[in-house]
Amino acid sequence: MSTTILPENKLHYPVLLKEVLSIISPQSGGTFIDCTFGQGGYSRKLLEYPKVKVIAFDRDQKCKSIAIKFKNKFKDRFEFYNKKFSEIDIVKNDDKIKGIIFDLGFSYNQIKDQSKGLSFNYKGRLNMKMGQNNFSAQDIIKYLSVNELEKIFKYFGEEKYSKLISKKVVNERKFKDLLTEDLVDIINSSKKNFTKKNKSTKVFQALRILVNNEISELILGLTKSCNLISKNGIIAAVTFHSIEDRICKFFFNEISSQRKISRYLPINSIDQISFNLIKKKPIVPTIKEVEENPSSRSAKLRAVKRVSKKKLDTKFIFEKFKYLLEVEKIASKL
């Protein structure tokens, strides 16, 4: 998750911005897709280059007002879709896309928006909807079974105490609708040992991932981007937790030619590999960036460059992360 905060001036701090720009090189112009417009930090920087056009996506309706200001200023050089990035294929292929950027997670505005109920530091109704959702965290906590909750906390939060927490949730909800503070109390009472992170981090992460279908969103966003990006174009992703980083790392490694032997790609597709890894290791924030914005500390940037126009078969990623996609399906009855 990204909280990307600069508390002094209450602005969203675009994480790894310099590093992303140096990879996608907007200096000579071209069309770029900003999949996670947020407060427009990345888009604004890209549009400083006069020959750049930005097509931006964000699922949060509250981004619209910022997008309107961008539209007034940059006219035809800016387009905004209040949509999820899994719908990125509405962009026409003939737009010659030079770069596609994902800055995953949440913006400062969203975390600070109490109505979104994203933070365990606030009190009140559980929610966690970023926009265009079918159910809330409240629905998950209220209606899913103890086994289902356990799976969600375990797979999406990597929470060691998922069983105990789920049992307590199901017991406590008999008496009242559980609010954010009630869930925090349950988690605190289940985890006696000291932890470096806030004890609620993992369970809250799990709920956020499920409410926003983050697993299928990311997989669809990445796979659709592959066939949209032009030759020599770059796909770059900034991740904030280990599950999304694992997905990006695996996908980029598999589609890139540095990975010669893959049990997921059919033998005859080895010579069809059409991407190169920009760097083997992820790019992480400098000490200075972490000092200025501590919530950037878990950020990792990975990127690939398209080196041939051959169409890619991306079924392998759905296979690899089937176990996570199955957990996501638990909520389909809500």
In the complex, which residues of this chain contact ligand SAM (CB under 6 A)?
Answer: 2, 4, 12, 14, 36, 38-42, 57-60, 63, 84-85, 103, 105-107, 130-131, 217
Least distance in angstroms from the C-beta of 289 to ligand SAM:
14
Of 85 and 275, CB closest to ligand SAM: 85
Least distance in angstroms from the C-beta of 173 to ligand SAM:
28
Pull the structure tokens for residue 119. Answer: 């933070």
Pull the structure tokens for residue 89. Answer: 């294929």
The answer to whether 109 touches 63, Cβ cutoff 8 Å, is: no
What DSSP state is assigned to residue 239?
E
Separation of alpha carbons 58 and 84, rounded Å: 6
Least distance in angstroms from the C-beta of 208 to ligand SAM:
10
Least distance in angstroms from the C-beta of 14 to ligand SAM:
3
Largest CA distance in the chain: 62
The answer to whether 161 touches 199, Cβ cutoff 8 Å, is: no
Of 58 and 289, CB closest to ligand SAM: 58
Q: Which residue is nearest to ligand SAM (CB)?
A: 41
Least distance in angstroms from the C-beta of 176 to ligand SAM:
30
Least distance in angstroms from the C-beta of 88 to ligand SAM:
9
Q: For residue 65, give every residue at least 6 positions away whose Cβ sits within 8 Å of its Cβ, in sequence order, or none.
A: none
Amino acid letter for position 37: F
Element (H, E) at 69: helix 64-74
3-state secondary structure at position 122: coil
Q: For residue 49, give every residue at least 6 positions away whose Cβ sits within 8 Å of its Cβ, in sequence order, or none.
A: 26, 27, 29
Q: What backbone phi and psi angles, to 5 degrees, belong to 133?
A: -110, 160
Of 163 and 246, CB closest to ligand SAM: 246
| Strands 229-239, 97-103: pairing kind | parallel
Of 82 and 253, CB closest to ligand SAM: 82
Least distance in angstroms from the C-beta of 58 to ligand SAM:
4
Separation of alpha carbons 83 and 2, rounded Å: 19
Scan for tokens 């796979």, then name that residue: 223
Separation of alpha carbons 185 and 273, rounded Å: 50
Please state the separation of Cα 3 from the chain's center in Å.
12
Of 79 and 150, CB closest to ligand SAM: 79
Q: What is the dihedral sign for C-alpha 195, 214, 143, 60?
A: positive
Of 58 and 328, CB closest to ligand SAM: 58
The answer to whether 27 touches 307, Cβ cutoff 8 Å, is: no
Least distance in angstroms from the C-beta of 107 to ligand SAM:
4
Least distance in angstroms from the C-beta of 170 to ligand SAM:
29
